[in-house]
Structure 1
Amino acid sequence: MLIAHYKEKLINAEFAQKQKKYTCPICHELVILKKGHKMVSHFAHYVSSDCVGNEGETQLHLKGKQHLLKDLIKEYPKIKLEIYLNDLKQRPDLLTGNLSFEYQCSPISNQRLKERVIGYQSRQINSIWILGMDYFKKNLHAYSVLRFIRYQKCVGFYLLFLDASQHQYCLKYQIYQIGNQIQCKLKIFDNYQMLIKFMKTPQQNTYLQPNLIKLTQSIETKVRWHDTAMIKLQKRCYENGHLLTGCPLIVYYPIQNSPILNRNWLEWKIEIILYLENKQECKLSDLYQLVNHEKFLFIKIKNPTLSFLKLLAKQQYVKFEGENIKLSQNFIWYRDTYDKIGAIKKLEKRHYYDS
Structure 2
Amino acid sequence: MFIAKNHSGELISLISKSSESINMLKKEGPFYCPACQEEVILKIGMKKLSHFAHKHSCPIKPEGESYTHLLGKLFLYQWLNKQGIDAILEQYLPSISQRPDVFVRLNDIPVAVEFQSSVIPLIDLEKRTNNYLQHGIMPLWIIHQRQITVKNQIIALSDFIGYFIQTFHSTQGYILTLDPERRLFFTYTNIIPISTNRAYTIQKQHRFANSFKDLIGNNIFPQYFYHPWIQSIESWLKNCIISPDARKNAFLQFLYVNRIHPLELPPEIGVPVPEMYYIKTPPLEWQAYLWVAFLWDKPVNSKFHLSSIRAYIYHKMKNYIVWRQLATLIGNENMRPFVHYLQFLTKTGHLKKEGDTFIVRKSGKLIDKPNICREPLRNDFFRRYKGVLIRSFLLTDE
TM-score (norm. length: structure 2): 0.77
Partner SS state of residue 226, structure 2: coil
Q: CA deviation at 1:59?
A: 0.2
Residue of 184, 189, 196 corresponding to 1:173: 189
Code of the aligned partner of 2:305: K
Partner SS state of residue 131, structure 2: helix
Change (3 A) 1:342 1:264: closer
The CA distance in 1 between the partners of 2:369 and 2:3, in whole Å, is 65
The CA distance in 2 between the partners of 1:175 and 1:169, in whole Å, is 17
The CA distance in 2 between the partners of 1:309 and 1:256, in whole Å, is 12
Residue of 27, 37, 41 corresponding to 2:36: 27
2:12 paired with 1:8:
no
Code of the aligned partner of 2:303: E
Q: CA deviation at 1:193?
A: 2.5
Q: CA deviation at 1:203?
A: 3.1
Code of the aligned partner of 2:342: L
Change (3 A) 1:241 1:173: same
Matches within 5 A, 1:290-329: 290-291=312-313, 293=323, 295-299=325-329, 300-329=333-362
Q: CA deviation at 1:101?
A: 0.7
The CA distance in 1 between the partners of 2:236 and 2:36, in whole Å, is 58
Change (3 A) 1:301 1:129: same
Q: Do the aligned residues in 2 keep the contact of 1:69 with 1:79 (CA within 8 Å)?
A: yes
Q: Do the aligned residues in 1 keep the contact of 2:271 with 2:284 (CA within 8 Å)?
A: no
Change (3 A) 1:348 1:61: same
The CA distance in 2 between the partners of 1:153 and 1:50, in whole Å, is 32
Q: Deviation per CA, 1:274-314: give whole Å up to 9, x if none.
A: 22137743222443454453733324212222222221111
Q: CA deviation at 1:345?
A: 7.4
The CA distance in 1 between the partners of 2:113 and 2:247, in whole Å, is 37
Code of the aligned partner of 1:190: R
Q: CA deviation at 1:42?
A: 0.9
Partner SS state of residue 295, structure 2: helix
Code of the aligned partner of 2:78: K
Q: Do the aligned residues in 2 keep the contact of 1:33 with 1:43 (CA within 8 Å)?
A: yes
Partner SS state of residue 272, structure 1: helix
Greater shift, 93-102 or 69-78, is seen at 69-78
Q: CA deviation at 1:36?
A: 1.6
Change (3 A) 1:336 1:13: farther
Matches within 5 A, 1:260-275: 261-275=279-293
Q: Do the aligned residues in 1 keep the contact of 2:77 with 2:102 (CA within 8 Å)?
A: yes
Change (3 A) 1:198 1:288: farther
The CA distance in 1 between the partners of 2:286 and 2:382, in whole Å, is 30
2:213 paired with 1:196:
yes
The gaps in structure 2 that reach 5 residues or longer are: 315-322, 385-398
Percent identity over paired residues: 23
Matches within 5 A, 1:173-322: 173-178=189-194, 182-206=199-223, 207-210=225-228, 215-216=233-234, 218-228=236-246, 231-259=249-277, 261-277=279-295, 280-288=302-310, 290-291=312-313, 293=323, 295-299=325-329, 300-322=333-355
Residue of 375, 380, 395 corresponding to 1:347: 380
The CA distance in 2 between the partners of 1:349 and 1:286, in whole Å, is 29
Code of the aligned partner of 1:4: A
Change (3 A) 1:33 1:286: farther
Residue of 18, 36, 49 corresponding to 2:45: 36
The CA distance in 2 between the partners of 1:50 and 1:112, in whole Å, is 14
Q: Do the aligned residues in 2 keep the contact of 1:319 with 1:325 (CA within 8 Å)?
A: yes
Q: CA deviation at 1:85?
A: 2.5
Residue of 119, 132, 156 corresponding to 2:131: 119
The gaps in structure 1 that reach 5 residues or longer are: none
Q: Do the aligned residues in 2 keep the contact of 1:4 with 1:23 (CA within 8 Å)?
A: yes
The two structures, once aligned, show a CA RMSD in angstroms of: 3.1
Change (3 A) 1:124 1:215: closer
Q: CA deviation at 1:251?
A: 2.1
Code of the aligned partner of 2:304: C
Q: Deviation per CA, 1:81-115: give whole Å up to 9, x if none.
A: 22222332322111124211110111121211111
Residue of 47, 65, 68 corresponding to 1:57: 65
TM-score (norm. length: structure 1): 0.85
The CA distance in 2 between the partners of 1:103 and 1:265, in whole Å, is 31
Change (3 A) 1:200 1:220: closer
Q: Do the aligned residues in 2 keep the contact of 1:155 with 1:173 (CA within 8 Å)?
A: no
